[in-house]
Amino acid sequence: MSSEKQNIFDHLDPEEIQEWIQSLEGVIQRSGREGAKTILEAVEQRAKELRVLYSPLPYSPYRNTISQHDQGVYPGDLAIEEKITAILRWNALAMVMKANKNYGGVGGHIASYASCAEIFETGFNHFFKGGKEADLVFYQPHSSTGIYARAFLEGRLTENHLNNYRHETKEDGLSSYCHPYLMKDFWSFPTGSMGIGPLSAIYQARFLKYLEHRDLKKSNKRVWGVFGDGEMDEPESLAGLSLAARENLDNLTFIINCNLQRLDGPVRGNGQIIQELESLYKGAGWNVIKVLWGSEWDKIFLMDKNHSLLKRFAETVDGEYQTLGARDGTYNLNNFFGQNEEALKLVSSMTDEEIDKLKRGGHDFKKLYAAFKMAVETKGKPTVILAKTKKGFGMGKAGESRMTAHQAKELNLEALKEFRNRFQLDISDHKLENLEFYKPDENSEEIKYMKNRRENLGGFVPQRKYINIPIEVPKIDQHSKYLFEKSDREFSTTTSLIRSLGNILKDKTLGPKVVPIVADEARTFGMANLFSQIGIYSPKGQLYEPEDSSSLLNYKESKNGQLLEEGINEAGAISSWSAAATSYSNHSFPMMPFYIFYSMFGFQRVGDLIWAAADQMPRGFLVGATAGRTTLSGEGLQHQDGQSHLFASTIPNLKSYDPCFANELAIIFDEGMKRMMRDHIDEFYYLTVYNEKYSHPEINLSQKNDILKGGYLFKDNSINGINVNLMGSGPIFRECIKASEILKNEFSIGTRLYSITSYTELEKNCKEIKRQNLLNPSNIKKNHLEDILKNNDPIIATSDYVRSYTQMISSYVNNKFVPMGTDGFGRSDTRENLRDFFEIDSKHIVVQSLFSLFETQKLSLDILEKALKSYGFQSNSDHPWKR
């Protein structure tokens, strides 16, 4: 104690201190420990207000949160569970070794599952619910082998499956990581791209509450996520923590497998990742449970009256813990306990072997069970369990706590024997050498135990099982009635889509299923009326009178609000979208998310989250608004999107469209709803909508098929003479219409105008037909592009996107093909100036048309040169992408 503190202490009345302690004991007797805790917390709060207490350290001492005294009785059969875990470890290890031996170089991991086998088994045997009300479990991806190994023992996967681990072009191949798309009835959540799992898990938990608060679906499902400590360095891993606490997601538990290592080395060699994570989670408002030391440590802690152990723990950085983990008992005795006289005394009666067997908490079923139980019982906040483990636990010199553990793919025979002996596996040397999988008899106590546990918990997990429930979609002449009448009114495609959406929201069947999502841009997209119409979801309701309460369109938050207003948080918004878009498969309860965002802040910003969503076969709409590099005038380089359609084109189950007119858009939207909601087809939609106002043709349903296939003949202005084909998507198609007039009036050149609703859909059709033709050369078919084209004249193709977008279709036609696009950095200016700058306006379309005719010897040089001159084109100007 410092002399200053001693001085204060000396002046206090010892009786008064004693009275305080006695009254605390009295409260415990009367109201129990929870009651005492509540009082102390209130006192602490007041002490802080009076500035008596400073903020304490943001983390607790380096020991288990739950004392031995509080951990309760273990309900499982430890001996059998340990046996099962040993078998799983073996099969997981054999799977990786065998795959690499048999067909070489396919990778796989041994050390990660070795570190979290007990964590998973605690979940599987005691907590993860299966069946109709199955929990949502996110698995650490490179531990998938352990999950397969378990499914093998459960009889859900065969030996053939295990033999085909990472051999996915084979029928029974098993995915490297958790990929629902590749194993449709097994995995639900892709976690292979690190950081995405934790964020998605939070939003899945939040979506469960959303369904409940909107009185749509009540469930007692939990969301569990087992993640790596290295993975916590991904910004996305921590991105949703405060939302989870703010919205009291007590249906969510994270278990961080703190083996202190990542791929290359220690996570925090010079620090302590567990303490750091505790501060972060606690700071965000989570309940934190540390499971650091196994039961063997309990008696040592009990003897340690002066906290010499805690002192040693606090002094030891993770790099050192790793070295201690890799070495034997003697080393630990000398280099850990030996550094402090008192600590050394605590273990003086233990042999080196006993010291070697002191386990970390994450490998101790009893400690883990107590933590899981506390997590489930905690109300009002999410829980994170920080489980200290050893990477490569049981791999001995071949991997245990070794720097190279992550990449280790094999053990030599000696190491395999050591492994077998350590886990007391009944496997002969011969079988070891042959890497034979081990499966106890169906009537063995292990298999019976496993199956019984799963039966008690409702069924096997992971399992992706659902019932498709068809939802009727209102007719197009209901939700988009206004487009069936001829009108000269000018409006943007954004406005028209929001208007149709507004009508759908009013539909009794589909309306409640819609989950509109915005990331602080509802006003930008003209959706502010939805605030009061359907309410903004907030589990707390509205605790204030909104400033605009007297307005009809007031900002209304409510517990059953329908709109998800995510704030400036595109990663969160897309995670909400994913949760809603997979509600059909996760809950057999289809919902229709409609996330509208600045198109630039979609694929470019959260592309990996969209990729992961695609892996889950989502159903819903992504709407890229304020689209187009030149149509979004006035904004700048970071806002003007000229590439999202290229990104979108790379996602196989995504249908993306870039329509020019509201009638096209309504047809696409209508079809998308029907296919996803009524016919439950596994696909999702990306629609770009713009903020340029112009008038639109009325809906003509006879064009429907062509519009959906990606394009149609909008107008035939061809002449008996020279002609070109003008193709355009989005508002830039209107530049084609203008160019058509110029070509006719000034150059007597005819045109056929094709409104391209999707270069991507066109390309998909073309490549499919091309392949069919290759395989069936006696039965050559025309692709959709050829079907609508029917001529050999040059094609000038434009859009508000980069040239590669239009170019996607160029190789499928024999016509001369001129791709145009907005390559380069955007910049702020008027639409007119931007279209001139990026060379996609009508005059550039005209000049490109003339040049293509010149190249095909249908036009003379002097006409072309005259045109270039009259438009003021400079022969030495730089292309926009260089400017």
Ligand X SMILES: Cc1ncc(C[n+]2csc(CCOP(=O)(O)OP(=O)(O)O)c2C)c(N)n1
Q: Helices (DSSP H) in 677-720: which residue ranges?
A: 704-709
* Choice between 257 and 558, CB closer to ligand X: 257
Residue placing its CB nearer to ligand X in the complex, 323 or 807: 323
For the record, the structure tokens of 422 come out as 């350590």
Q: What 3-state class would DSSP assign to 738?
A: helix
Which one, 66 or 232, has the nearer CB to ligand X? 232
Q: Which two tokens stand for residue 26?
A: 């009295």
Q: How far apart are CB 366 and ligand X at their closest, in Å?
A: 22
Closer by beta carbon to ligand X, 259 or else 626? 259
Shortest Å, Cβ 122 to ligand X: 16
Give the one residue of 118, 231, 670, 763 binding ligand X; rule: CB under 6 A.
231
Considering the complex, what minimum distance in angstroms separates the CB of residue 684 from ligand X? 23
Q: Is the peptide bond before 819 cis (omega within 30 degrees of 0)?
A: no
Q: What are phi and psi of 499, to 5 degrees?
A: -65, -45
- Least distance CB 117 / ligand X (angstroms): 12
Task: Measure Cα distances from 167 to 12, 96, 174, 408, 820 in Å.
Answer: 74, 11, 6, 19, 42
Stretch that binds ligand X, among 121-129, 262-270, 336-344, 692-700 (CB under 6 A): 262-270
Question: Strand, coil or helix: what is 333?
Answer: helix
Number of residues that bind ligand X (CB under 6 A): 19
Give the CA count within 13 Å in the CB-facing half-sphere of 485.
6
Q: Which segment (226-234, 283-291, 511-519, 762-770) binds ligand X by CB under 6 A?
A: 226-234
Q: Does 176 bind ligand X (CB under 6 A)?
A: no
- Determine, following the binding rule CB under 6 A, whether residue 193 of this chain makes contact with ligand X: yes
The one segment of 228-236, 456-464, 543-551, 734-742 that binds ligand X by CB under 6 A: 228-236
Q: Residue with structure tokens 């340690």?
A: 304
Distance separating alpha carbons of residues 334 and 355, to the nearest angstrom: 11
Q: In what order do the strands lie in the sheet with 723-728?
A: 711-717, 750-756, 723-728, 795-798, 817-819
Name the phi and psi angles at 249, rounded to 5.
-80, 75
Shortest Cβ 125–ligand X spacing (Å)? 21
Q: Measured from the CB atom, is 179 or 835 closer to ligand X?
A: 179
In contact, 235 and 199? CB cutoff 8 Å: no
Nearer to ligand X, 141 or 502 (CB): 141
Among 81, 118, 121, 229, binds ligand X (CB under 6 A): 229
Closest CA to 678 of 507, 530, 798, 430: 507
Residue linked to tokens 């149509």: 631
| 259 binds ligand X, rule: CB under 6 A | yes
Segment contacting ligand X (CB under 6 A): 163-171, 193-201, 489-497, 517-525?
Answer: 193-201
Q: Is 257 in the site for ligand X (CB under 6 A)?
A: yes
Residue 715 phi, psi dihedral angles, 5° rounding: -155, 135
Q: Work out how close the CB of 550 gets to ligand X at its nearest, in angstroms, rounded to a whole number.
A: 49
Tell me the residue number closest to ligand X, measured at CB: 228
Q: Which is nearer to ligand X, 406 or 645 (CB)?
A: 406
Task: Figure out which of the listed residues 261, 480, 799, 806 binds ligand X, where binding follows CB under 6 A.
Answer: 261
SS3 564: strand
664: contact with ligand X by CB under 6 A: no
| 272 forms part of the interface with ligand X (CB under 6 A) | no
**Residue whose structure tokens are 């553990």:** 405
Which among 222-230, 518-526, 539-547, 851-859 is the span making contact with ligand X, rule CB under 6 A? 222-230
Per CB under 6 A, the segment of 59-67, 255-263, 407-415, 753-761 that binds ligand X is 255-263
Closest C-alpha among 726, 729, 767, 728 to residue 749 = 726
| Whether the Cβ atoms of residue 588 and residue 464 lie closer than 8 Å to each other | no
Q: Tokens for 585?
A: 């498969």
Choose between 325 and 502: whose C-beta lies nearer to ligand X.
325
- Which one, of 480, 473, 510, lies nearest residue 664 by Cα? 480
**Rg of the chain over all Cα atoms, to the nearest angstrom:** 33
The position carrying tokens 């992971």 is 462
Q: Shortest distance, CB of residue 92 to ligand X, whole angstroms? A: 13
Q: Cβ closer to ligand X: 130 or 180?
A: 180
Task: Tell me which residues in 386-415 interact with ligand X (CB under 6 A).
Answer: 391, 406
Q: Minimum Å distance from CB 262 to ligand X?
A: 4
Distance of closest approach, residue 111 Cβ to ligand X, in angstroms: 7
Q: How far is the CB of 391 from ligand X (least distance, A)?
A: 5
53, 57, 263, 780: which one binds ligand X (CB under 6 A): 263
Interface stretch with ligand X, choices 260-268, 314-322, 685-693, 823-831 (CB under 6 A): 260-268
User: Taking every pair of C-alpha atoms in the chain, what is the biggest distance, in angstroms?
Assistant: 112
Q: Does 228 bind ligand X (CB under 6 A)?
A: yes
- Round to whole Å and give the CA distance between 595 and 570: 10
- Residue number with CB closer to ligand X (230 or 880): 230
- Could you give phi then psi for residue 507, rounded to 5 degrees? -70, 135
Contacts of ligand X in 75-114 (CB under 6 A): 112
Q: Are 337 and 330 in contact (CB under 8 A)?
A: no
- Dihedral sign for Cα atoms in the order 366, 369, 371, 373: negative
- Min. distance of Cβ 89 from ligand X in angstroms? 15
Q: Least separation, in Å, of the C-beta of 145 and ligand X?
A: 12
User: Using CB under 6 A, which residues numbered 108 to 147 contact ligand X?
Assistant: 112, 115, 142
Q: Which residues pair with 656 in a beta bridge?
A: 686
Q: CA-based angle 228:232:236, to the nearest 5?
A: 125
* Nearer to ligand X (CB atom), residue 262 or residue 479: 262
| DSSP bridge pairs for 723 | 750
- Considering only 76, 192, 512, 546, the residue that binds ligand X (CB under 6 A) is 192
- Do 257 and 229 form a contact (C-beta atoms < 8 A)? yes
Q: Give the interface with ligand X as residue ranges (CB under 6 A).
A: 112, 115, 142, 192-195, 228-231, 257, 259, 261-263, 267, 391, 406
